[in-house]
Amino acid sequence: MKKLLELKNVRLTYQTINDEIEAVKDLSFSCNEGDFVSIIGPSGCGKTTVLSLIAGLLKPTSGEILIDEKPVEPSLSVGYMLQKDQLFPWRTIEKNVYLPLEIKKINTTENREYALDLLKKYNLLPFLKNYPDQLSGGMRQRAALIRTLVSKPRLLLLDEPFSALDYQTRISVCDDVYNIIKSERKTTVLVTHDISEAISMSDIIIVLTARPAEIKSIHVPNLEFDSPLKRRESKEFGVLFEKLWKELN
Amino acid sequence: MKNFSDNHTLFIKKIKRETRIVWAFRILLLVGLLSIWELFARLNIIDPFISSSPTKMATTLVELFKENNMLYHVLITLYETILGFIIAVGFGFIIALLLWWSTRLRKILEPYIVVLNSLPKIALGPIIIVWCGSGSKAIIFMAVLIGIIVAIITMLNGFLSTDKDKILLLESMGASQLQIMLKLVIPGNIPTFISMLKISVGMAWIGSIMGEYLVSKAGLGYLIVYGSQVFKLDLVMATTLILCILATLMYALVSLLEKKLVKH
């Protein structure tokens, strides 16, 4: 199978006036099309930095990052979703979802129709002309995901996308987002500090060490169910949770 | 219509009652102050020659509009204030954008802006008069000078505090700096723009009236200075009253604009 994402010996060193900080040290991994990869690690270990590197927002000091065997740049191929929904409050849901089309200058009727299809499929069509502050946290996060999907990215990058939600909403939005991603067959890299979230969603879990970030271990959960909610109930879930928790502490 | 419980009706009643009370006292306060003023002036407890009185102010106002071409003075001052306001706001906005755009330019100009901000602009009055002559030009220049620095600083602070994560989001879509400016920084700062307008309204009035105090042949500031020099306090008070009304109207217009622009 062709590799969709590949990191080869990626290294990143930050320069500050007083110091030189090694943030990422020799990171290599890859994933195939359709994989759901989670990256977990102790807080401040540079998880977000890794995502910024994959998004092409930061240039690695050395090493290579390839998407579809081509070097990355911020472009069509990557969709980035952040902690808060970051919907623009002065735009309606419809206009928010069109934002990537405007930025990438692909605001065609065809692409807008695709966006509307997604909104319809995921029950946001009635809120087309509403403003973000009129929607619940969960719906806003769904709208943010659809905004990420409209430019048909090859790879989705999720940076703790549920951490701003309360526990109840988080569980259901997590399920929601997972189902959308799976039905759109998107390859995803998720960064999180929530072990149970990582286990319930991922095909592959990468555990990073404290800074400078290196790979500590890679796990393949292989749970029998195909829904984060149900996975949380399975026996292996608890076993893996404990294992990861020990690794992180 | 939704059917509300009696509690809700009671709640609405309470709010309405509170509003009525506030308004009643506002009016009472005004009427009370005016009557005391009038009474004291009539009973010669205060010298009406120095303190004027509400009725005298009213008759002076009518006379001023009928005989002394008050409208002309009002229009002159309005012209200077509004032009000064528009220039200060317009250039302030553009300069703030440039400073947001280029970090280097911002660093270079920072000390100059700080100095200009703390300098009492009125000190430049004599220089402005020498440069611009003694007409409206000098007064407009004064209004612009007083308004523009605050306009720049307010807007720039707004631009610079744009949510970093939203910028990151746009960058991940491959947005250029121009796109970030047009799609995020400007629309996201409409509330800042409105508060800048509100501050600038005040600044423009300070500028134009100060300017007219220093050098003018017409305008409300001119009338106030002239009135105080010939001890016609009726004229001074009446003109000040008109000034109050005009400044409030201009502020109200900006508030109206705010209601139109800022919804979410």
User: Are residues B222 and B94 part of one domain?
Assistant: yes
Cα A71–A72–A77 angle (5° rounding)? Answer: 125
- Do B128 and B41 reside in the same domain of the chain? no
Residue B52 counted as domain residue = no
Residue B69 lies in a domain: yes
Do B245 and B139 belong to one domain? yes
Identity of the residue in A74, A131, A157 whose CB atom sits nearest the CB atom of B171: A74
Beta carbons of B172 and A89 less than 8 Å apart: no
Distances (CA, A) of B229 to B53, B145, B156, B222, B245: 19, 27, 42, 11, 24
pLDDT at B1: 57
Q: What are the structural domains of chain A?
A: 1-72+197-249 (3.40.50.300)
Same-domain check for residues B40 and B168? no
pLDDT of residue B183 exceeding 60, the answer is yes
Q: pLDDT-derived band of residue B20, with 50, 70 and 90 as boundaries? A: very high
- Residue B102 sits in the same domain as residue B14: no
Chain B contact for A132, CB < 8 A? yes
Answer yes or no: is pLDDT of A1 > 80.
Answer: no
* pLDDT 10s digits, A131-168: 999 998 888 988 999 999 998 888 999 998 888 778 88
Give chain B's domain count. Answer: 2
B153 assigned to some structural domain: yes
pTM assigned to the model: 0.85
The two structure tokens encoding residue B206 = 């300070």
- B102: how many CB neighbours lie within 10 A of its CB? 13
Quote the crossing angle between the two packed helices A137-149 and A167-183, to the nearest 10°: 20
- B55 in a structural domain: no
Q: What is the pLDDT of residues A160-205, one digit of tens each?
A: 888 877 888 888 888 888 888 888 888 999 998 888 888 888 889 9
The pLDDT of residue B2: 67
Same domain, B85 and B185: yes
Nearest CA in chain A to B182: A103
Name the residue of chain B whose CA is nearest to A131's CA: B264
Indicate whether B140 and B252 sit together in one domain: yes
Once rounded to an integer, what is the mean pLDDT over residues B29-55?
89
Task: Dump pLDDT digits (tens) for B72-111.
Answer: 999 999 999 999 999 999 999 999 999 999 999 999 999 9
Closest residue of chain A to B191, computed from CA coordinates: A90
Residue A181: CA atoms inside 13 Å, Cβ hemisphere, count?
32
A86/B169 Cβ within 8 A: yes
Tally A–B CB contacts below 8 A: 55
Question: Which range marks the domain in which residue B204 is found?
Answer: 62-261
Nearest to B172 among A80, A89, A90 (CB): A80
Residue A76: is its pLDDT beyond 70? no
Q: What is the CATH number of the domain that holds B105?
A: 1.10.3720.10
Residue at B51 is within a domain: no
Are B40 and B129 part of one and the same domain?
no
Residues B153 and B122 both lie in one domain: yes
* Residue A82: pLDDT over 80: yes
Instruction: Give this complex's ipTM.
Output: 0.88
The 3-state DSSP class for residue A138 equals helix
CB A104 within 8 A of CB B173: yes
Q: Is A127 an 8 Å CB contact of chain B?
A: no
pLDDT in tens, A220-232: 887 777 778 778 8
Question: B57 in a domain, yes or no?
Answer: no
